[in-house]
Amino acid sequence: MRNKTCVAIDGPAGAGKSTVAKLVARQLGLLYIDTGAMYRAVTLKALREGLDLTDHEQLTALARRTKIELVPGAKQLVLLDGEDVTEEIRSPEVSRHVSLVAKVPGVRAILVEQQRRMASETGVVMDGRDIGTVVLPQADIKIFLTASAEERANRRAKELANKGYTIDIAKLIKEIEERDYIDSHREVSPLVAAADATIIDSSNLSIDEVVEEIVKLIGNP
């Protein structure tokens, strides 16, 4: 029988969701789906086309005519209309604007439908902001992964430095806090822990410790 276990991991920027989600998926033979990458891909296209990011109609139309593919593999690839944008969607420029695009109800409706379709075919570990609350409320296990803003900014700074970006840590903390604020206060699908989610604060935990805790919970939901 195919493993149809469905794991939802939500939480704020830099809590370690994607690293942990990938490892849990690999360990359990599930498909990893990075929903943030989908919002980032739409944002990249909107920036390239010079759209007004407060124009909800234009952004919704753009999402409708955009094809996003997540290609599984040792390094998951993100294709935007067939072009590999895996690296480009992680740029600080996209990070600074993505929450404006993600708060548009029409954009969310289009991407959520695609996410549900992907999860209907196989067992998944899906990470994002609204997976346990909106996208997959029937998930077998829901995790809300968080950490202090300083710790999250430090992790993100290391990640960006490894990619050759110059980091101003005070500015990064401010940007992460701004993004969390928009994500938590938007009208549609705000970032919030589902009532039945297990909350894990990863500030003082290693990646392996978080993975182990989640795998244990899946064994004993």
Judged by CB under 6 A, the stretch of 13-21, 75-83, 157-165, 195-203 that binds ligand CDP is 13-21
CB atoms within 10 A of CB 20: 26
8 Å CB contact between 182 and 100: yes
Residue where the block lists tokens 């290693």: 206
128 binds ligand CDP (CB under 6 A): yes
175 binds ligand CDP (CB under 6 A): no
Size of the residue set binding ligand CDP (CB under 6 A): 16
Least CB distance to ligand CDP at residue 27 (A): 21
Strands of the sheet with 83-84, listed across from one edge:
68-71, 77-80, 83-84
Q: Which of residues 98-127 bind ligand CDP (CB under 6 A)?
A: 98-99, 102
Sole binder of ligand CDP in the list 40, 124, 132, 210 (CB under 6 A): 40
Three-point CA angle 43, 44, 47, nearest 5°: 85
Least CB distance to ligand CDP at residue 66 (A): 15
* Pairing relationship of beta strands 124-128 and 31-34 according to DSSP bridges: parallel
8 Å CB contact between 115 and 37: no
Chain contacts with ligand CDP (rule: CB under 6 A): 13-14, 18, 35-36, 39-40, 98-99, 102, 128-131, 179, 183
